[in-house]
Chain A
């Protein structure tokens, strides 16, 4: 069965410092991996996805993520954090090639950027 884990409930970073939000997954076959961000009382917004190809994926708002097949990880990164990056971040995985496969979301990581 496919699953995704976000091992940290909360990540605290000072503004201007680099940030990393961790995600590991378990899925047979080729995974499609996604990152979403949620601001309070709002829906999720798509940040980036890995389908195939280059392991470093660039997305919205200066975020990027690195796909590591051997470690089954897809960590979200940003070189310099902004206070406005404070939000809830979700990693998601979906098994490739199947339109009937369901997307599985992690439990979320709350990112807090202090000024």
Chain B
């Protein structure tokens, strides 16, 4: 069973601060995705990283995929109250067997940004 561990589980910060969320696994994933979810809604895709060592930027968000494709991080610069939500990492299973392409989610990081 492939597991993804996210840390921290909870993050409460002031507007303007920087933060990093980590996603770690002992398994290799063919790609890793980050989602943001608001209460009562489904997760919304932020980014997909595919290549080991890849870095992607989305405005104030920076995503990195580990060289061995087992871990990833999400860094937010100058957090704003609108960034508040549940952040989820999800690894996509690689080739081989019927699980190919299945997403396995971490337990999530609940981020609260106070004005």
The answer to whether A and B come from one shared complex is no
